[in-house]
Amino acid sequence: MKPVDLGELEDPVSIQTDLCIVGSGPAGSSIAKEFAGSMIQVLVIEGGGTEESTADQALYTVENVGAIRAPQEGVRNRVVGGSSHGWSGRCTSFDEIDFESRAWVPNSGWPITFEEVRPFSDRSRAHLGLGPNVYDDHLWKKLGISPPYPQIDPACLKSQFWQYSTDQHNAFGPTRFSRTLAAIDASNVRLLIHANVTQINTSMDVTGIVSLDVRTLEGKRAEVKARVVVLACGGLENARLLLASNKIALNGIGNSHDLVGRFLMDHPGCKLGWFDPNRAFPIQDRFGSYYLDHESGRNAYEFGLAINDELQRKEQLLNCAAFLGILGSPDDPSGAAKRLISNVKLLSAETPRSWGAQAGKDISILTTNFPRLLRNAYRRFAKLRGAIVKAEELYLYCLVEQIPNPSSRVTLGERTDALGMPILRIDWRIGEIERRSVVRFNELIGSELRRVGLPKYTPNSHLSDDFDWRSNFVDRAHPSGTTRMADSPRLGVVDRNCKVHGVAGLYIAGSSVFPTIGHANPTLMIVAMAIRLADWLKRHEFANA
Hey, what's the torsion of the CAs at 411, 416, 417, 418, to 10 degrees?
A: 150
Helix (H, G, I), strand (E, B) or coil at 202: strand
Q: Rounded to the nearest 5°, which phi and psi values hold at 265?
A: -125, 160
- Which pLDDT score is estimated for 485? 98
Percent of the chain with pLDDT over 90: 82
Whether residue 252 has pLDDT greater than 80 = yes
The per-residue pLDDT for range 492-509, each reduced to its tens digit, is: 999 999 999 999 999 999
Q: What is the DSSP string of 128-179?
A: HT------STTHHHHHTSPPPSSPP-TTTEEEEEEEE--BTTBTTS---HHH
Please give the Cα distance from 484 to 495 (Å, whole number): 9
Long-range contacts: 112-116, Cβ < 8 Å, 24+? 112/485, 112/496
- Distances, alpha carbon 22 to alpha carbons 288, 331, 498, in Å: 38, 45, 15
The per-residue pLDDT for range 163-198, each reduced to its tens digit, is: 999 998 777 789 999 999 999 999 999 999 999 999
Which of 7, 166, 154, 203 has the alpha carbon at shortest distance from 87?
166
- Which pLDDT score is estimated for 349? 42
Provide the terminal-to-terminal Cα distance of the chain, rounded to the nearest Å: 23
Q: Running DSSP on this structure, what letter comes out for residue 540?
A: I
Amino acid at 528: A
The per-residue pLDDT for range 329-355, each reduced to its tens digit, is: 888 877 777 777 766 554 544 455 555
What average pLDDT does this structure show over 309-315?
97
Q: Compute the half-sphere exposure of residue 96: CA atoms within 13 Å on the CB side of its CA.
A: 6
For 195-268, list the strands marked E by DSSP.
Answer: 196-202, 209-215, 221-231
Amino acid at 138: H
Percent of the chain with pLDDT over 70: 97
DSSP-derived pairing of the beta strands 62-64 and 422-427: parallel
Amino acid at 336: A
Cβ pair 323, 283 in contact under 8 A? no
Amino acid at 233: C
Helix (H, G, I), strand (E, B) or coil at 122: helix
Provide CB contacts within 8 A for 467, sequence distance 6+.
Answer: none
Cβ pair 19, 43 in contact under 8 A? yes
What average pLDDT does this structure show over 37-45?
98
| CA R_g for the chain | 24
Please give the Cα distance from 141 to 200 (Å, whole number): 51
Which of 63, 88, 69 has the alpha carbon at shortest distance from 475?
69
Residue 405, beta-bridge partner list: none
Amino acid at 434: E
What average pLDDT does this structure show over 137-165?
95
The per-residue pLDDT for range 380-415, each reduced to its tens digit, is: 888 999 999 999 999 999 999 999 999 999 999 999
Please give the Cα distance from 27 to 523 (Å, whole number): 9
pTM score, whole prediction: 0.95
DSSP-derived pairing of the beta strands 13-22 and 42-45: parallel
Which of 175, 296, 231, 222 has the alpha carbon at shortest distance from 27?
231
CA 248 to chain CA mean position, Å: 33
Hey, what's the torsion of the CAs at 352, 353, 358, 359, to 10 degrees?
A: 90
Which of 219, 218, 169, 224 has the alpha carbon at shortest distance from 192?
224
Residue 301, beta-bridge partner list: 163, 290
Q: Given pLDDT bands bounded at 50, 70 and 90, which one contains residue 377?
A: confident
